[in-house]
Structure 1
């Protein structure tokens, strides 16, 4: 591969690089930039762009392979399971040849199935295979014209569950924003509560009693000077709440700190708007600090040991040209931010201590081994991965319990035809969730994507190797992300269930627009922008998903 950097050390991917070989009889580039070797010999490979040139010499030697063997560790897998092809190239003496290119391919015959799908899957250059449809597949390994093949049976994944609507709190006069669910304290111990924000409306946040999810009721409302209360968060001890402000009449946006120990009588402890006239879009509360995304440029770190007397202790801001930020999520003392074109960024803000002798797959987040220098007053960058599309809107850490692989799931947000909610019309966004493998933090790579066709993506949550995804007009999706992940997850039968909340009395009638969700106890709560707060439950049985307007 060729990378071009300018004087500012910025990657210039738009430039046209010309690749040449000095001896085309030995090796030559095709029109796609692939180098094809033809015979033994030497040649010089050059890359030229404008007045810059880089070259290196290579030697092409005769391929000694005279036999290929292929073995598999299983004869049957499910759709979505990843299997490694164990292929070896041997010379005339049947000795294994190291560092020799082996190419992989497959063909298959799908089970007829409900939808008469064709055989479909993915096989990688390093010999990993995953199938999207059930059937019989022939896997092939080749080198120097020699090959071996094995047949494997692929069966349906069968993870579907029934989605049961437990309760719904209709909000139809304003657009609903984010949500948070938490357990009551003191005299309300044993009860459960939720808070939802509002978007482009009257600066309100609604507090709910959800102890009985089948009868969720609003018990208090806080109104602040804002057009949008986009984000709402509650502290781990269930006593402090934070709501964000955008569009204040006096431009004093920032955020508002609340005492939520009595959700029936929520009070304002303090407002914080120092240098936040541009508005705070998202926040996170972690160990008595508020991490506030300020004006889409940085996140300020505010101490709330005394909620009535907040003060700034730190700030984290990228130094890339035109940088911006959308959200931040914190787990074990590491802040994971979503930064549009700059992608996902992991920052040490006081990484949790861990037992260095415990390297078990289920316990080890590789980023924790790099922590120790950061704190709220001294945030230290640990790792990052850019987003070439510029659409990175969410970032969520995921340590797979089944494999030990560590991912940062990067969510898109893209409105190709604009945001139409202010006009009272349904929007039509697009997007997906990218699984970025950070098991080696120095070499992160995207390995899988979950993308619902013709639907958007917004906020997400992960628990027990299950993805809970808010997919805007695509509804709420619950997805099995256990095991190794590779390719297009949506097509692999990994979807456990879905709920698409059409409602005839919504702010925009019959226009589902799921914002995000939170697992809580045996339920999943989610907010729909047009129709309010929902609670669902997964139960064993025939799969279902509400799709018909009601």
Structure 2
């Protein structure tokens, strides 16, 4: 396990920036029609490397979560890298500059991929999803010592595994929204499902709701805000549930469907493939008008990917409609994060690296002119970025090939 020292990283950054930086910027003007309607011009500058990188050589990396001065990253094991599976959580200390330094790791038995993780807002709980093995499921850890998580409880679903898990507090109770993969049999018990767990006692997570999803791959991810859960269910589309909002009288224990929509295929092989999303709470306009949906098409680790960002107008949650899209030739989107105050969406784009989009104003049609900046943090041939997160004034990116990066976001 490599540890990046600050002094060495600083020198290395200069070399990497001059040799491998791939970026574009808009130079302080709006980057698309109808942009800038929030009375502020879009941020300027370029995404740049600040630290980290090339720090997980023995495994493929998966997701990330930053909380305070620590980061947690997963590992992927669809196939082995250097003979090892993706069965560990990496724990990173963020130094005074925000650069990641490996502090420890936690191994999970009988799994091949640690696919997702999140820390609760109070920093007390780490939740992890795992798959590819008999130990597939959800794992909970206590974080009194942020660098040394202590196991608390788990919810094991077996070989099917759980692909993602999302924490949300509803009516004062903490819940985990888990995406259960299709199981190995054709029985209803093995159907892909949204599983909702009550975590008031994280030592014994209690399953309070199960919503099966058709086997058009199944459920992949969930975004929860203000008692509304958006379920990204691949070729079934996006399903909207009231889980405590009141629009349909639903609750976390008894979700009620509000609506559903199948996003456009946009000529991407594999269909709509609704993968993930973000409901934009725009503090500039006061609107919650847009839902950004990621489409994951076919790809090959390290070399290719496909899939667009689709924009839905959900100002009427009972009748969402698709209004815009963003496409990059030769690369497809994966997970993303928003700087809502600056009206910027940051998207991981696999072999395309990290992309920043201006999402201010009215969004219609092709948003290709809204591109603000892009960066391949590992350079050509060493970039396959899984996810991004804004924290502590930096943009962190986890790359399947080149590890955990600290980047400078737009200003």
Q: TM-score, with normalisation over the residues of structure 1? A: 0.60
Aligned to 1:152: none
Could you tell me how far 1:322 is from its partner in structure 2?
4.6
Aligned to 1:370: 247
Secondary structure of the 2:113 match is coil
1:265 is matched with which residue: 131, 139, 148?
Answer: 148
Are 1:80 and 1:485, in contact at CA under 8 Å, matched by a contact in 2? no
For residues 386-465 of structure 1, the aligned pairs below 5 Å read 386-388=262-264, 389-403=271-285, 404=287, 406-415=289-298, 418-419=299-300, 421=301, 426-462=302-338, 463-464=340-341, 465=343
Q: Residues 412 and 213 from structure 1, CA distance in 2 versus in 1: closer, same or farther, beyond 3 angstroms?
A: farther
Aligned to 2:238: 344
Q: What is the RMSD of the two structures over their aligned residues, measured on CA atoms?
A: 2.3
Could you tell me how far 1:370 is from its partner in structure 2?
1.4
Q: Residues 331 and 211 from structure 1, CA distance in 2 versus in 1: closer, same or farther, beyond 3 angstroms?
A: farther
Stretch deviating more after TM superposition (477-486 or 275-284):
275-284
Could you tell me how far 1:528 is from its partner in structure 2?
0.7
Are 1:219 and 1:263, in contact at CA under 8 Å, matched by a contact in 2? no
Are 2:49 and 2:377, in contact at CA under 8 Å, matched by a contact in 1? no
Are 2:141 and 2:151, in contact at CA under 8 Å, matched by a contact in 1? yes
Are 2:34 and 2:363, in contact at CA under 8 Å, matched by a contact in 1? yes
Could you tell me how far 1:234 is from its partner in structure 2?
1.0
Aligned to 1:111: none
Distance 1:159 1:257 in 2: 38
Q: Deviations over 1:326-351 (max 9, x none)?
A: 11121122111111112111211122
Distance 2:97 2:202 in 1: 30
2:56 is matched with which residue: 155, 158, 171?
Answer: 171
Are 2:31 and 2:358, in contact at CA under 8 Å, matched by a contact in 1? no
Are 2:394 and 2:407, in contact at CA under 8 Å, matched by a contact in 1? yes
Q: Residues 333 and 447 from structure 1, CA distance in 2 versus in 1: closer, same or farther, beyond 3 angstroms?
A: same
Are 1:243 and 1:255, in contact at CA under 8 Å, matched by a contact in 2? yes
Distance 2:215 2:104 in 1: 44
Distance 1:79 1:207 in 2: 38
Query: Tell me, which stretches of 5 or more residues in structure 1 are unaligned?
Result: 1-76, 84-129, 131-156, 184-191, 352-368, 504-508, 541-550
Aligned to 2:400: 529
2:105 is matched with which residue: 221, 224, 229?
Answer: 221
Q: Deviations over 1:99-121 (max 9, x none)?
A: xxxxxxxxxxxxxxxxxxxxxxx
Could you tell me how far 1:213 is from its partner in structure 2?
4.2
Could you tell me how far 1:245 is from its partner in structure 2?
1.4
Distance 2:46 2:93 in 1: 26
Are 1:526 and 1:534, in contact at CA under 8 Å, matched by a contact in 2? yes
2:139 is matched with which residue: 256, 263, 269?
Answer: 256
Stretch deviating more after TM superposition (531-540 or 325-334):
531-540
1:488 is matched with which residue: 358, 366, 373?
Answer: 366
Distance 1:384 1:238 in 2: 34
Distance 2:177 2:305 in 1: 28
Secondary structure of the 1:428 match is coil
Stretch deviating more after TM superposition (221-230 or 208-217):
208-217
Aligned to 1:82: 34
Are 1:203 and 1:229, in contact at CA under 8 Å, matched by a contact in 2? yes
Distance 2:119 2:348 in 1: 20
Aligned to 1:89: none
Aligned to 2:193: 298
For residues 140-289 of structure 1, the aligned pairs below 5 Å read 160-169=44-53, 170-183=55-68, 192-200=69-77, 201-225=85-109, 226-248=111-133, 251-273=134-156, 275-287=157-169, 288-289=174-175
Distance 1:242 1:79 in 2: 38
1:475 is matched with which residue: 338, 343, 353?
Answer: 353
Could you tell me how far 1:218 is from its partner in structure 2?
1.4
Could you tell me how far 1:517 is from its partner in structure 2?
0.6
Could you tell me how far 1:524 is from its partner in structure 2?
0.9
Are 1:220 and 1:263, in contact at CA under 8 Å, matched by a contact in 2? no
Q: Residues 224 and 431 from structure 1, CA distance in 2 versus in 1: closer, same or farther, beyond 3 angstroms?
A: same
Could you tell me how far 1:457 is from its partner in structure 2?
0.7
Secondary structure of the 1:230 match is strand
User: Which is bigger in relative contact order (C-alpha 8 A, separation at least 6)?
Assistant: 2
1:309 is matched with which residue: 197, 204, 209?
Answer: 204
Aligned to 1:385: 261
Structure 1 or 2, whichever has the larger Rg, is 1
Are 2:132 and 2:159, in contact at CA under 8 Å, matched by a contact in 1? no
Could you tell me how far 1:211 is from its partner in structure 2?
4.2
Are 2:99 and 2:406, in contact at CA under 8 Å, matched by a contact in 1? no
Distance 1:390 1:477 in 2: 21
Q: TM-score, with normalisation over the residues of structure 2? A: 0.79
Could you tell me how far 1:283 is from its partner in structure 2?
0.5
Distance 1:476 1:323 in 2: 26
Secondary structure of the 1:301 match is strand
Could you tell me how far 1:434 is from its partner in structure 2?
0.5
